[in-house]
């Protein structure tokens, strides 16, 4: 009888620990939801500068602007602490939140390109 109670107790603790881990993933994921604006960028086609808007939606959809003009749809998710964005130009990024989650710094895993985004 004691063994059964101990096994039930251990299973209960494992279930609670597993559920609390899901909550942490949801909390991290929720930090992304919303509209983010990039730093001022130089247009490679000319002298004009522009900002880029990235919108992360709760349903895993994603939209970004391309040189401030056209909208490019896609999806996003987190996998092993990596931000994965699937669009015409897919990418995987390391990320860090700062300033009370109002600044998001993403760094391309493939090429080291870094971009700072400000939450709107």
The pLDDT score that the predictor gives to residue 94 is 97
Q: How far, in Å, CA of 118 to CA of 9, rounded?
A: 45
Average pLDDT over residues 68-87: 91
Mean pLDDT rounded to a whole number for the chain: 82
pTM attached to this predicted model: 0.72
- Verify that 25 and 47 share a domain, yes or no: no
Strands (E), 22-99: 34-38, 41-42, 49-50, 53-56, 61-66, 70-79, 82-86, 91-98
The region that residue 80 occupies, defined by phi over 0 for left and psi between -120 and 50 for alpha, beta otherwise, is left
State the residue range of the domain holding 23: 1-32
Tokens representing 56?
A: 């992360």
CATH of the domain at 92: 2.40.128.490
In the chain, the number of structural domains is 2
- Verify that 47 and 106 share a domain, yes or no: yes
Residue, of 115 and 89, whose pLDDT is higher: 115
The pLDDT score that the predictor gives to residue 17 is 46
Residue 67: pLDDT band (50, 70, 90) is low
């Amino acid at each position: 009888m004691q063994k059964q109670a101990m096994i039930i107790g251990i299973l209960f603790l494992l279930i609670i620990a597993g559920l609390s881990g899901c909550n942490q993933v949801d909390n991290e994921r929720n930090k992304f939801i919303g509209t983010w604006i990039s730093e001022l960028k130089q247009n490679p086609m000319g002298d004009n500068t522009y900002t880029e808007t990235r919108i992360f939606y709760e349903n895993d959809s994603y939209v970004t602007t391309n040189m401030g003009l056209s909208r490019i749809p896609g999806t996003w998710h987190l996998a092993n602490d990596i931000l994965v964005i699937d669009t015409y130009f897919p990418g995987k990024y390391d990320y860090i939140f700062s300033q009370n989650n109002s600044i998001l710094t993403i760094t391309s895993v493939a090429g080291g390109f870094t971009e700072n985004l400000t939450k709107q």
